[in-house]
Amino acid sequence: MSEKHSEKRGLSDGAYGGVSGEEYKPYIPSSEKPLEFTLRACIIGSVLGILFAAANAAVGLRVGLTISASIPTAVMAVAIFGLMKKLGARKGTILENNIVQSIGSAGESLAAGVIFTIPAFFLTSFILPEEYTITIFQIFITALIGGLLGVFFMIPLRRYLIKKEHGNLPYPEGTACAEVLVAGETGGAQAKQVFFGLGAGAVYTALLKGLRLWKNEAEYYIPGYKNGLINLDVTPALLGVGYILGYRISAIMVGGAIISWLGLIPLISIVGDKLTAPMFPADILISEMDAWDIWDYYIRYIGAGAVAFGGIITLIRAVPTIIESFRLGFREVAKSVKGTIAAKIRTDRDLPLIPILIGAFLLAIVMAFLPQIPVGIIGGILVVIFSFFFTTVSSRIVGIIGSSSNPISGMTIATLLGTSLVFVMLGWTGTAAKVAALSVGAVVAMSIAIAGDTSQDLKTGFLVGATPSKQQIGEMVGVITSALFIGFTVILLHKTYVIGSDELPAPQATIMSFVVKGIIGGDLPWALIFIGVFLGLTMEILGLPSLPLAVGIYLPLSTMATVFAGGIVRTIVEFRSKGDELKKENRERGILFASGLVGGEGIVTVIVALVLLALNKTADEVGFGPEWGGHFQDVISLAVFAILAVVLYRSSFEKR
């Protein structure tokens, strides 16, 4: 990097708008050509991508949410290259750091698409016969094709969405990543926050899940209130997720859980206490059920209806954006095919369009005939149609609200609805049709997730002066390397903790299986599902976002209460910070630490699962066990969790 650029302290004002994309001057001018796509950048990015994919898979299977890894990956890239320089290696360039975060964040996004859909194949009690199994290779090939389609379909849209819409589409995470990378040129304080959070989350999780020194969940049954249960999941990842989401969203989510666990469950318990026959879909009497049984038999269906409604409403709200994006997207593709767009400078050079379109066509052919993705010719056509359509939608939506809020589940539900209806009209109603519909949804979900991530990464590259074609190759590298390991991670977690259990409820995948089973099989308790739909409708009428509340209705109170605790910590931090600038600094410092908590727990959870698999033991057969605490087990769990919350609070104020 030249001397004059090493003196820069930040992005230009034009990074946030005020100038057109044609006029914007990136941090590294197009005339300069620092090292960018290097072997060490690919290796570091791939390792980080695999780690964050595993971490997000473990967390997402529990709470149905994933956290964007773009910013933590960018911070860690800066830190790793800084450490390598101290050890005598060449200093990393800002564009190398950008390649690392592009590859690394692709792994996290691929994990989101996987955990939203693939676990449905393990939920045999909901949709598939017990003898049906899915292999690591099937997950790999599904993730690979879905991820590559997401990258391929985003490439022709870059000039419009990233360049021409500069100033109109802020791409919040992409812009934040650019700021992190530029800040990394002068120091690594942000990296310390992430690593400190990773360490805290890892140590806490090792003591909790490895040595089992205290209970994973503190709970209290309310006397005189039948099946009225208050509980708290004392884990660092959920606390970190709550801090990142903030008070409002976490409050709405815990509100949904309160409706379920302190409203609907006691109501069902009281009303059903005198019934002398089981009530569908349960096969035991309500009087014999505890709170968790009622949640399993009834509340999950109500929550499924609410989540499906919330996802579809989110999609409907985006219809104007969808129409405009689709119209302009086709216009850009047509211009590219005609050759009227020509990249003459390094910072505006995409991969050639014709090979990309040929690659997408070949992937469609592979899907149509590969037995590991049993979608057939009709399913392959549906994958291409839905993937291209929703890639356009996803890429534009994340430009406004960010990748973490990308309504992947809503778009996937719409895909499943459309696919299932087509199959029913063709007379396909058996197990094969269910597997095919889920497979279509899985591939599309992964393409949606990767398209959103690719958009954010290309925005980062646009701001710092990266070469788009090299970033696009980096995205493919991230997809390939993460796809190789994500299947192993999911199956490992299933063998250790069981997908569909209280430990790994896999909420989004359960919703997907409900949709397919309901339309193709026609044997769902629709009354319960419509109760959830009308609860979601009520929230929309009241002006509240229905999707986060629906997730709260579906998930256990213990999960949502911990997320809410994180939101409260962030609120206290903001209240104690004097002035808008200080509030912003403290909040962002806490978000970096919270991201580390999420990553630390996820990584150690996978490590513990590996150890248990090697020892051929279950989670309850290792460690000390919380029983040493006697009657104070719940108090001990709460006390340790409170200490972690205080550490998160203090980390928001302490500069490292």
- Who has greater pLDDT, 164 or 129? 164
Residue of 525, 493, 510 whose CA lies nearest to 601? 493
pLDDT band at 192 (very low <50, low <70, confident <90, very high): confident
Whether residue 3 has pLDDT greater than 50: no
Q: Which amino acid is at 383?
A: V
Examine residue 571 and state whether it is found in any structural domain, yes or no: no
CA distances from 37 to 21, 81, 92, 101, 467 (A): 24, 14, 11, 12, 9
Q: Which pLDDT band holds residue 326 (cuts at 50, 70, 90)?
A: low
**pLDDT value at residue 389:** 80
Q: Considering the domain boundaries, does residue 310 fall inside one?
A: no
Q: What tokens does 575 get?
A: 């209240």
What is the mean pLDDT of the segment spanning 315-328?
A: 65
Largest interatomic CA distance in the chain: 82
Where on the phi/psi map is residue 430: left (φ > 0), alpha (ψ -120 to 50), or beta? beta
Alpha-carbon span 372 to 140, nearest angstrom: 10
Q: Out of 155-164, 183-192, 483-492, 554-563, which region has the weakest mean confidence (pLDDT)?
A: 183-192
Q: What is the pLDDT of residue 1?
A: 40
- Supply the pLDDT for residue 605: 77
Q: Do the beta carbons of residue 467 and residue 31 sit within 8 Å?
A: no
Nearest-CA neighbor of 554 among 346, 359, 311?
311
Q: What percent of the chain has pLDDT over 90?
A: 27
224: exposed, middle or buried (Cβ count in 10 Å: 0-12, 13-18, 19+): exposed
* Lowest-pLDDT range of 53-57, 89-93, 539-543: 53-57
536-551 residue pLDDT tens: 999 889 888 887 888 7
CA distance 475 to 539: 38
Q: What's 351's DSSP letter? A: P
Contacts of 377 (CB under 8 A, 6+ apart): 368
Of 317-321, 392-396, 457-461, 618-622, the least confident: 317-321
Question: Is 631 inside any structural domain?
Answer: no
Query: How do residues 200-230 score in pLDDT, each as one tens digit?
Result: 998 999 999 888 899 988 999 999 899 999 9
pLDDT above 90 (res 150): yes
The more confidently predicted of residues 147 and 598 is 147
Handedness of CA 277, 282, 284, 289 (dihedral sign): negative
Round the average pLDDT of the chain to a whole number and report it. 83
pLDDT at position 41 over 90: yes
CB-based contact 54:493 (threshold 8 Å): no
Closest by CA position to 462, among listed 349, 352, 354? 349
The string of DSSP codes covering 135-161 is -HHHHHHHHHHHHHHHHHHHGGGHIII
53-68: string of b/e by CB count within 10 Å (b at 16+)?
bbbbbbbbbbbbbbbb
Q: Is 340 exposed, middle or buried (0-12, 13-18, 19+ CB in 10 A)?
A: exposed
Distance CA 66, CA 56 (A): 6
pLDDT the model gives residue 7: 44
CB atoms within 10 A of CB 334: 12
Give the confidence band of 23 by pLDDT, cuts at 50, 70, 90: confident
Among 58, 108, 59, 99, CA closest to 77 = 99
Looking at the domain assignment, is residue 29 inside a domain? no
Whether residue 269 lies inside any domain: the answer is no
| 33 belongs to a structural domain | no
Closest CA to 259 of 642, 534, 63, 525: 534
Listed range (175-189, 264-278, 328-342, 549-563) with the worst mean pLDDT: 328-342
The answer to whether residue 402 scores a pLDDT higher than 70 is no
Whether residue 11 is contained in a domain is answered as no
Q: What average pLDDT does range 246-254 have in this prediction? A: 88
pLDDT of residue 174: 80
pLDDT at 294: 93
What pLDDT score does 129 carry? 56
pLDDT > 70 fraction of the chain, expressed in percent and rounded? 87
So what's the pLDDT on residue 444?
93
Strands (E), 151-190: none
pLDDT of residue 401: 57
Q: Quick check: 241 and 56 in contact, CB under 8 A?
A: no
pLDDT tens profile 506-532: 877 877 777 787 777 666 788 888 898
- Higher per-residue confidence, 49 vs 339: 49
For position 607, what pLDDT does the model report?
79
Q: What pLDDT is attached to residue 158? A: 84
Residue with more model confidence, 592 or 423? 423
pLDDT of residue 169: 78
Q: What SS3 state is found at 220?
A: strand
Higher pLDDT, 42 or 350: 42
Alpha carbons within 13 A on the beta-carbon side of 286: 22
- Give the residue numbers spanning the domain of 420: 41-247+319-522+576-617
* pLDDT of 102 over the 90 cut: yes
Number of domains in the chain: 1
Predicted TM-score (pTM) of this structure: 0.73
Determine the 3-state secondary structure of 229 from DSSP: strand
> For 366-381, what is the mean pLDDT?
86
**pLDDT reported for residue 330:** 66
Residues 553-568 have a mean pLDDT of: 89
Q: Per residue in 273-315, pLDDT tens?
A: 989 899 988 889 999 999 988 988 898 888 878 877 877 776 6
Q: Is residue 5 part of a domain?
A: no
Contacts made by residues 625-631, CB under 8 angstroms, sequence distance 24+: 625/212, 626/212, 626/213, 626/214, 626/215, 629/214, 629/215
Q: What are the DSSP calls for 427-440, one per residue?
A: T--SHHHHHHHHHH
> Contact at 8 Å (CB) between 474 and 102?
yes
